[in-house]
Structure 1
Amino acid sequence: MSFTGLAWWDYHGVALPYSAGDGPRSTGGDLASGFTRTPLGALLAAVHVSVRANAQWGPQVFEPTITKQVIGPDAATLLAAMRELYGKRHGDLPKDAALGRAYVVLEAFRWQGYSPDTASLDLVSAGPGDSDMTVRAVTRIQLQWQNDDWRVIAPPGGTWGGAAASLTSSDGYIRFPNTGGGS
């Protein structure tokens, strides 16, 4: 898979990859859709949908992302968990406001499988931890081609933590170019 032509743009503190050929073709309303039925399209959908399906960006982003782009038996549980998390962290912010910038870098990924109908990959992210240490996590993201676009299958138990594990080495992963994750 070639990363030629991939551009990285800031999304509230997270550098996300964009491809003129593979997507997202639409980013209106802080949402992302329109990915090609290719390995790169699946990878881009996994990144964009999983990042946006997070309480951090507020209900105007996570609710339509989850209701329109996340499928599977745990999709409703994920939506309820994000609403609850947002409610706990919202505090005195204006109604529906984002909780602030994110401090995470998408570093690498590894395919678990790909076909034109389904895809599965592990996504490595890094962020600040205790004592100025960088903490890395790997999150399994599964996708299904449905209604002419990739849909993310909700993580087990409806929480991203249920699909994530800490990571001490990114050996064996494909590093993303130009994101701080290598070249």
Structure 2
Amino acid sequence: MIRRLAAAATVAAALTLTGCTDSGQPDAHQPEVSLTDAPQIASWSSVGGVWVPIGTTDGPSNGSWEPFHGFSRTPQGAALAAITQSVQLATASDNDWPTILGTIVAPGEARDTYAANRALISIEALDSDAIPDIVGYTITDYTDTAANIDIVQRFSDDSLATSHTRVVWTGEDWHLELPTNTDATITALDEIPTNLVNLEGTRK
């Protein structure tokens, strides 16, 4: 378990900084949506060595050389935003992270704190043993303004972990919401969740 959590922490500086907060009560007038329907995946793209899914219609609408944006206002769009944006922030280079942070992360105290801390360190290429495969996700809470996504990852030693990630709709798109508390955002798993939206079969 120690190796499992250490690997997760190494690969995901931002995956461990994207967490859950209380989302409040859902809108009573919100249309019913499926939290378990998988998004249609067009391709997978390598972001800092981590392969992430690119949706056919749910986003992102741009390439990995830009901060990811252009997600559908659906559970599937929220999930793809959580996955792609958290990986992009976690693997951002010392030169690129300010632009990525300012584009894909919702403004607030947590973003300011992240920026102050990130400016103090230099991150080099990830250890290949610490690079995960994205297995899929579960949505633990969803409204059309916020979503909590658990991203399930598998590491080279076959250990599993889930990253608790939150995105919010800011008027035009989904953006990461970094946590303001110290709650753990990476949890070791003994097995794949039964309600997993599995994305492994979409790899091409």
Give the counterpart of 2:83 among 36, 47, 55: 47
Task: Give the conservation status (yes or no) of the 8 Å contact 2:47–2:87.
Answer: no
Question: Does residue 119 in structure 1 map to residue 147 in structure 2?
Answer: yes
Write the letter of the residue equivalent to 2:186.
A
Q: 1:34-68 CA deviation, whole Å, 9 max, x = no partner?
A: 111111111111011100112x3303332222222
Return 105-114 or 167-176, whichever deviates more: 167-176
Question: Does residue 65 in structure 1 map to residue 100 in structure 2?
Answer: yes
5+ residue gaps, structure 1: 91-98
- The match for 2:114 is 78
Question: Does residue 136 in structure 1 map to residue 160 in structure 2?
Answer: yes
Question: Does residue 17 in structure 1 map to residue 53 in structure 2?
Answer: yes
- Number of equivalenced pairs: 163
The TM-score with structure 2 as length reference comes to 0.69
Give the 3-state SS of the residue equivalent to 1:43 in structure 2: helix
Alpha carbons of structure 1 residues 64 and 145: separation in structure 2 relative to 1, 3 Å: same
Q: CA RMSD in A?
A: 2.5
Cα distance in 2 for partners of 1:49, 1:101 equals 20
Task: Give the conservation status (yes or no) of the 8 Å contact 1:35–1:150.
Answer: yes
Cα distance in 2 for partners of 1:179, 1:100 equals 25
Identify which of structures 1 and 2 has the higher relative contact order when contacts are C-alpha pairs closer than 8 Å and 6+ apart.
2
5+ residue gaps, structure 2: 1-36
Instruction: Give 1:5 deviation, angstroms.
Output: 4.3
Instruction: Give 1:106 deviation, angstroms.
Output: 0.6
Flag the structure with higher helix content: 1
The TM-score with structure 1 as length reference comes to 0.76
Give the counterpart of 2:197 among 174, 177, 182: 174
Task: Give the conservation status (yes or no) of the 8 Å contact 1:57–1:100.
Answer: no
Task: Give the conservation status (yes or no) of the 8 Å contact 1:108–1:175.
Answer: yes
Task: Give the conservation status (yes or no) of the 8 Å contact 2:67–2:104.
Answer: no
Q: 1:104-150 CA deviation, whole Å, 9 max, x = no partner?
A: 1011211111111111111111223xxxx233221111111003000
Flag the structure with higher strand content: 1
Task: Give the conservation status (yes or no) of the 8 Å contact 1:137–1:165.
Answer: yes
Task: Give the conservation status (yes or no) of the 8 Å contact 1:107–1:179.
Answer: no
